[in-house]
Structure 1
Amino acid sequence: MNAMTGTMEAIIPKLFVPRSSPLLEDINGFMYVEQVLALMGFVSEDGSVGKASVSGDNA
């Protein structure tokens, strides 16, 4: 089980958000996708949810 837990922490290191987070104070039950994306850092400077940036040009 420790190997599985260690692997998951390596794959998804920042999904744990403490309940004391200001973003979680108004959440009662399920979260909206936009809230999850904001907690994961996918919010742009103007406050909209966007795609994660990818390095390289595929144009």
Structure 2
Amino acid sequence: MKAVGLSHRPTFRKNYLNPALASGWIEYTQPHSPRSPTQRYRLTSKGKRWLQLRGED
């Protein structure tokens, strides 16, 4: 949320997080516990390729 400058969690989840998860750009670090307080997200290989094509690391 900080990276894109948003602070309203429901809007971030609806407009950014859920579409990125559904498209396969990112994934849960704990897929069996999506509501875990320690849940994080990581780029998938698809997301990493997209960043490389954009010229970012």
- Greater relative CO (CA pairs within 8 A, separation 6+): 2
Structure having the higher strand fraction is 2
The structure with the larger Rg is 1
- Quick check: which one's helix share is greater? 2
Per the TM superposition, whether the score is higher than 0.5 is no
TM-score (norm 1): 0.29
